[in-house]
Structure 1
Amino acid sequence: MNEYELRVYDEIIEWKRKLKKRSNMLARASKRVQSKVNEMIPEKVHQVMTDAIKNMVKATLTGSNYTTKRNQGSGLTLQQKDELLTEKLTSYRKTAMVEGAGTGAGGLFLGLADFPLLLSIKMKFLFEAASIYGYDSSSYEERLFILHVFQLAFSSDQKRQETLAIIDDWESRKQVLIEMDWKEFQQEYRDYIDLVKMAQLVPGIGAVVGAYANYNLLDQLGETARNAYRLRLLKTPPLS
């Protein structure tokens, strides 16, 4: 009996249950306010922001593909893959903390620069995760999966449920997925991190807030990536 895989399967069930729970009242109220603000923003502005995020993400995906070592988890058990991902996550969290502290200490100007820098760190980590769990991120469908993992980690209750359903049934759903909804992608991501990162722009406390926020955002992404790839590997309970 593979006791580790049995335990992981139970952890996946619990993780999915947790994702289906509603956010706390503050988060829901914040999302309502942000939705109202988004409605007030002219469509042309939304399009500019969407194009900017789309181009930024695609550039990061291309760069990460070239710099990520292939088949890092080849020959490893699931437990060893999980342990390797934990090592990678520890390293990426430290990088994100240093980046957040540096840009946070710089006030408004460098605080704004934190957005693309942190985004690139997150995407690079997801490419590492794909490699560890045995998936080829050079293929279009695997890059699309990476974007859905990212969206699952940083989205509102409703979008999180929709994205979880797609990831949970990826082999079937990927056949009809052609492109991301980039407008929705950028709005969900910005809305999710706005409150977390806002205080980073305040002189004096920006460095501490930036380091702490980036640490937690990477932690959230790490848990999501680990369980999303576990879910693909363990679709049914392991045989005992």
Structure 2
Amino acid sequence: MKTPYEERKHREALSWAKGLEKRGPIIQRKSKRIQTTINNWVPERVHKVVSGSVKQMIELSLTSSHYIYPIEVGEGWTLKEREEQVGARLKYYKRTAALEGAGTGAGGIALGLADFPLLLSIKMKFLFDTARLYGFSVERYEERMFVLHVFMLAFSSDEKREEILHRVLNWEDEKETIKEVDWKTLQLEYRDSIDFVKMLQLVPGFGAVVGAWANTKLMEQLAETAQNAYRLRLMGY
């Protein structure tokens, strides 16, 4: 039997999942043309940095302990206690991401390029912490794959979101059919989802403000996806 807190969070998670099934606003659906234009303006080295960073992130997250370090997790924690710890971790990582975005954004393109791999690392560390705080062992390959799917769900287009959401919500059945991640598709989806705000960060003069704001919002977007995904996994869809 669920506690009142669990009931409330379960309803919120179900509502969140239902909302993801809807198409994005028209401005979002038409943004692909804008993104394509922006992509043509951006130096190729920027795209190479993003692609290389995502590929490296996937390889590290699946094959190494790069994102795993000791944190305290109580086996008997209630959902509320677990989420209080997740909230504390999010606060820490948001502050880190904002400082990093402001610092690299202030330097224009040169330092802005460094922001992509740094922010990816912060996001993955947060996801690995979140998974463990909800009671899942990221030592297992299948749990690392779930973490990657949560990441993809947070930064996917309308066209890909439905497919990824189905996998996340039906993970016990889907995990056996997933052997590897299409990193090329992942990096394109991720890049297109953050292009507009992150490319503004490369503009000297106000890049620091944009960098801090953008990184904070991207962390909040990731946290919302992760928390609801794990709630539904724990309490059922």
Change (3 A) 1:3 1:88: same
Pairwise CA distance, 1:105: 0.4
Q: Deviations over 1:159-213 (max 9, x none)?
A: 1111111000000000110000111101000000101211101111000000000
Q: In structure 1, the residue corresponding to 2:91 is in which secondary structure?
A: helix
Is residue 53–residue 117 contact of structure 2 (8 Å, CA) maintained in 1? no
Which residue identity does 1:66 align to in structure 2? I
Question: TM-score normalized by structure 1?
Answer: 0.88
Change (3 A) 1:204 1:67: same
Report which stretch shifted further, 217-226 or 14-23.
Answer: 14-23
Question: TM-score normalized by structure 2?
Answer: 0.89
Q: Deviations over 1:207-229 (max 9, x none)?
A: 00000000000000011111111
Partner of 1:77: 78
Q: In structure 1, the residue corresponding to 2:116 is in which secondary structure?
A: helix
Partner of 1:161: 162
Q: Distance in 2 between matches of 1:13 and 1:81?
A: 19
Q: Distance in 1 between matches of 2:30 and 2:19?
A: 20
Change (3 A) 1:53 1:210: same
Partner of 2:42: none
Partner of 1:126: 127
Is residue 73–residue 133 contact of structure 1 (8 Å, CA) maintained in 2? no
Q: In structure 1, the residue corresponding to 2:76 is in which secondary structure?
A: coil
Pairwise CA distance, 1:58: 2.2
Which runs of structure 2 are paired with 1:83-98 in the superposition (5 Å)? 83-98=84-99
Q: In structure 2, the residue corresponding to 1:67 is in which secondary structure?
A: coil
Pairwise CA distance, 1:119: 0.2
Q: In structure 2, the residue corresponding to 1:80 is in which secondary structure?
A: helix
Q: Distance in 2 between matches of 1:228 and 1:14?
A: 12
Q: Say whether residues 1:57 and 2:58 are aligned partners.
A: yes
Q: Deviations over 1:3-36 (max 9, x none)?
A: 1111111111111122122212222111245469
Q: Distance in 2 between matches of 1:219 and 1:152?
A: 14
Which residue identity does 1:7 align to in structure 2? R
Partner of 2:7: 6
Change (3 A) 1:37 1:91: closer
Q: Deviations over 1:85-124 (max 9, x none)?
A: 1111011000000000000001110001100000000000
Structure 1 residues not aligned, in runs of 5+: 39-45
Partner of 1:42: none
Pairwise CA distance, 1:59: 2.7
Partner of 2:68: 66
Partner of 2:103: 102
Change (3 A) 1:187 1:230: same
Deviating 4+ runs (over 3 angstroms) = 32-38, 46-52, 63-66
Q: Distance in 1 between matches of 2:198 and 2:70?
A: 28
Aligned length: 229
Which residue identity does 2:8 align to in structure 1? R
Root-mean-square deviation (CA, aligned residues, Å) is 2.3
Which residue identity does 2:107 align to in structure 1? G
Percentage of pairs with the same residue:
53
Pairwise CA distance, 1:57: 3.2
Is residue 104–residue 111 contact of structure 1 (8 Å, CA) maintained in 2? yes
Change (3 A) 1:14 1:66: closer
Which runs of structure 2 are paired with 1:217-228 in the superposition (5 Å)? 217-228=218-229
Structure 2 residues not aligned, in runs of 5+: 40-46
Is residue 73–residue 131 contact of structure 1 (8 Å, CA) maintained in 2? no
Q: Distance in 2 between matches of 1:36 and 1:206?
A: 20
Pairwise CA distance, 1:84: 0.9
Q: Distance in 1 between matches of 2:124 and 2:157?
A: 20
